[in-house]
Structure 1
Amino acid sequence: MSTIHETLGRDGLIRPIDGRVLGGVCAGLGRRFGLDPWPARLLFLLLLMVVPGSQIIIYPILWILMPSESSVWHPAPASRQ
């Protein structure tokens, strides 16, 4: 059984080392969905403004659940001979 960190890492939801402002959640979401970090941050902010107070809950939960790029194991590509 895989953990949440392994599942999110496998799906591409990781917090990158570069481009972080606070925890790297928005940069990771932007990278996963093909957006630059700043438009992803603005979109995240606009979405969280729909439900007041949700950013206090959602951002820390994502920060805890999304693995950091440094902790995700990337297998080496198989070499062809």
Structure 2
Amino acid sequence: MTTLTRPQSKKMIAGVCAGIAERYGWPVGRVRLLFVVSCVLPGPQFVAYLILWALMPKRAS
């Protein structure tokens, strides 16, 4: 497994979903879809995304 980083490519906004998908070997589209669907439910999903954006390092290459 790779470390949890935000890729320079394959990102739509910040690369958080792409980084999570690559880390666990999941399809990127599925992670993005799950995030969008989860935003309909009550909870701090968007805040968690912003926190991960700030905490996840960018991949060097």
Taking structure 1 as the reference length, what is the TM-score of the superposition?
0.62
The answer to whether 1:66 aligns with 2:56 is yes
Q: What's the secondary structure of 1:26's corresponding residue?
A: helix
Identity among equivalent pairs (%)? 38
Q: CA deviation at 1:38?
A: 1.0
Q: Deviations over 1:15-71 (max 9, x none)?
A: 01110000000000111111121111112223343334x233111100001110028
Structure 2 residues not aligned, in runs of 5+: none
Measure, in 1, the Cα distance between the counterparts of 2:40 and 2:16. 17
The answer to whether 1:36 aligns with 2:36 is no
The answer to whether 1:50 aligns with 2:41 is yes
Q: CA RMSD in A?
A: 1.9
Measure, in 1, the Cα distance between the counterparts of 2:3 and 2:39. 22
Structure 1 residues not aligned, in runs of 5+: 1-10, 72-81
Aligned residues: 60
Q: What's the secondary structure of 1:13's corresponding residue?
A: coil
